[in-house]
Amino acid sequence: MSTVTISLTEAKQNLGEVINWAAYGGKRVTLLSRGKPRIVLISIDDLQRLDAQSDERELRKARRRAWLEEARALRERILKRRGGVPLPDSVEELRALREERDEQIMGLR
C-alpha cells in the first residue's frame, strides 16, 4: 500500500482524482496543512480492515480482563479454604527445582 502526500490546496483543486486514488487506487492520501499532516484519506476496505483489527484487540482485552477476574476469584477461594494462609511462593519452588536439576545435570558430566 503506497501513500501519497499532497497539500489541502492541491486536494481541493483535484478532489475527484484524490478520492479515486484512495477509493480505487489502493493509496492512502495524506493531506498537509501548512506543511504538517492533518488527515489521511483511505478506502472503505481499509477502514473496514482497521475496524476489524480494533474490534479484535478489544475482544482480546476483554478476554484477558475476564481471565484475570477468574484468577482473582480462584485466589480468593483458595485463601478462604486455607483459612487465609497463602500458597507458598511458586517462584521460590521453581528456583529450587531448577537448582536441583542443574546439580543433577552437572553430576552426570
Distance in angstroms (rounded) separating the CA atoms of residues 63 and 68? 9
Out of 3.30.1360, 3.40.1620, 3.40.50, 1.10.8, which CATH number does the structure's domain 2-42 have? 3.40.1620
Q: What is the mean pLDDT of the segment spanning 92-99?
A: 92
pLDDT (0 to 100) of residue 109:
59
- DSSP-based three-state secondary structure for 33: strand
For residue 34, pLDDT beyond 70: yes
**Mean pLDDT on 78-96:** 90
**pTM for this model (two decimals):** 0.58
